[in-house]
Structure 1
Amino acid sequence: MQKQPRITEQTRANLREAFLELYAKRPLEKLSVREITDRAGYNRATFYLYYHDVYELLKEAEDDLLKSIEQLVNERLLKGERLEFSQHMGLILQMTQDSRKSTRAFLGPHGDPTFTRRFKEIIAPLVDRFVMPAGRFGPRESAVVREFYLSGLVAVISAWIVDEDPMPIDQFILLILRTVL
């Protein structure tokens, strides 16, 4: 029996959304396939048509978001587009806001540290290009300062995205630029 692509995508999206709602509230180890399928309105067998387990669903959801952010950074930054740091961050923040449910779950208290590490690796070229003082530090010091900025950016993005009424992106970026960078 051939699955219909539109129905397949909708089913996957519904399962993912149910998963993200639960994952934002509880650690992955405390989630069950039954909870996810009950919330999405499917039976357990449907889940297993698409995913081996909740870990596979998590990986797919994380990969999709990170791939989108990486593509944005690569297209804008690495192709030499003449945007300022605030514009690059604005694009990334807009994407995280558009994917708010995912971002809240991944950067929230139950999020996978591997996601955070991968997210830092993707935004590192922005920090390297716009924030790191050129030639001011040796390699060892540069690594520490770079991690300081990356961790700080991820922390403020996490705090911003979990806020029920987050400040507008331009105001958020201005706050960061004025106080930290």
Structure 2
Amino acid sequence: MFQNISMKQTIFRAFITVMEGKVPEAKAATRLSNGREMIRSVSVTEITRQAHINRRTFYTYFHDVYDLFDQLEDKYADDLDQFIQGWEDQSDPMRAISESVGKVVDYMSQNSRGMKLVSTIDTTIFTMMIQNNVKRAITIFNDLFDQGRLGPKVTPDRKWEFDYTVIFLTSGFAWVCYDWLKHPDEFPKEKLKQLISSTFMGAYKLVQSDELLNPSQLQEVFQKQRAAVKCD
């Protein structure tokens, strides 16, 4: 089994290397509207040469290049999913989430070439992976972002505010992570972990509070932040 996993990893790496040469650098920093069409430009022969294997070995694991790409997407989705397992068993779930964020960022850093390629070629898979994981983080058990804690008589406005926050978090995290993958060396990953964790914590406290901040309260927060920056 381990040999099979190792061989698939070898083929994945070869595919990533070959594809990087196919996607123009100018397009690698943006999402391609017809990204999957780029896969047509890659042949099994190119991949097997890069991986130093024969074609029979390739077809032992994949039907074709498209199947290879789909399995690579599935691998990233499954790997990311494992980082949000078991939170319900933790005594401090918010700390568990913060630690999971760190693991996700580390994983993306270790696999930045492949994840960047996948998210460039497929315009939906990467955001869906991040969004699904964040949604599960928000709704995984009752002590977190639970609509029940908004009160027994939730007004339509309050319900909308909750739903909007969930949408904001899931979509925002996905785009932040994708943007970071384009230039992972220009922004320290430890800083990224802090920013994502603090954003998640801030939204959690906001949604779970009895009342959302009104304009005057929000302005007071901004003034305190400006004063703190000036003191620094």
State the TM-score, normalized to the length of structure 1: 0.75
Q: Which residue of 1 aligns with 2:106?
A: 94
**Matching residue within 5, 14, 18 for 2:10:** 14
Q: Which residue of 2 aligns with 1:153?
A: 173
Correspondence for 2:192: 172
Distance 1:98 1:62 in 2: 15
- Return the alpha-carbon distance in structure 2 between the equivalents of residues 120 and 145 of structure 1: 13
- Amino acid aligned to 2:44: V
Tell me, in whole angstroms, the C-alpha distance in 2 between the residues paired with 1:151 and 1:28: 27
Query: Which deviates the most, 49-58 or 19-28?
Result: 19-28
Change in Cα spacing, 1:68 to 1:6, as seen in structure 2 (3 Å) is: closer
Greater CA radius of gyration, 1 or 2? 2
- Residues 44 and 104 of structure 1: CA distance in aligned 2, closer, same or farther (over 3 Å): same
Aligned-residue CA RMSD in angstroms?
3.0
1:40 aligns with 2:60: no
Question: Is 1:124 aligned with 2:135?
Answer: yes
TM-score normalized by structure 2? Answer: 0.61
- Aligned residue type for 1:152: G
Query: Which position in structure 2 is the counterpart of 1:103?
Result: 115
Q: Secondary structure at the match of 1:165?
A: coil
Distance in structure 1 (CA, Å) of the matches to 2:126 and 2:101: 18
Letter in 1 for 2:88: L
Paired residues of 2:73 and 2:125 also in contact (CA < 8 A): no
- Secondary structure of 1:116 counterpart: helix
Instruction: Report the counterpart of residue 158 of structure 2 in structure 1.
Output: 137
Distance in 1 separating the partners of 2:91 and 2:18: 39
Q: For residues 137 and 37 of structure 1, do their structure 2 counterparts lie closer, same or farther at Cα, with a shift above 3 Å needed?
A: farther
Confirm or deny that 1:79 pairs with 2:75: no
Q: Cα distance 1:88–1:10, how it changes in 2: closer, same or farther (>3 A)? A: closer
Instruction: Pick which of 146-155 and 121-130 moved more.
Output: 121-130
Extract unaligned runs of 5+ from structure 1.
none
Structure 2 CA distance for partners of 1:37 and 1:97, relative to 1, 3 Å = same
Kindly state the Cα deviation for residue 151 of structure 1 after the two structures are TM-superposed. 1.5
Seen in structure 2, the aligned counterparts of structure 1 residues 149 and 32 have a Cα distance that, compared at 3 Å, is same
- Is the 8 Å Cα contact of residues 20 and 101 (structure 1) preserved in structure 2? yes
Q: What amino acid maps onto 1:33 in structure 2?
A: V
Which residue type is aligned with residue 123 of structure 1?
Answer: V
* Residues 99, 78 of structure 1: alpha-carbon distance in 2 compared, 3 angstrom cutoff: farther
Query: How far did 1:81 drift?
Result: 4.9
Q: Secondary structure, in 3 states, of the residue corresponding to 1:137?
A: helix
Contact map agreement 1:127 1:149 (CA 8 A) in 2: no
Letter in 2 for 1:147: I
Return closer, same or farther for 1:142/1:34 CA change in 2, 3 Å cut-off.
Answer: farther
Task: Assess, with a 3 A threshold, how the Cα gap between structure 1 residues 142 and 23 changes in structure 2: closer, same or farther.
Answer: farther
Count residues with an aligned counterpart.
Answer: 172
Q: Which residue number in structure 2 is paired with residue 61 of structure 1?
A: 72
1:63-113: per-residue Cα shift (whole Å, max 9, x none)? 2222222122013x2333524343331121112222223322223x21351
In 1, Cα distance between the equivalents of 2:91 and 2:47?
42
The offset of 1:165, in angstroms, is 1.2
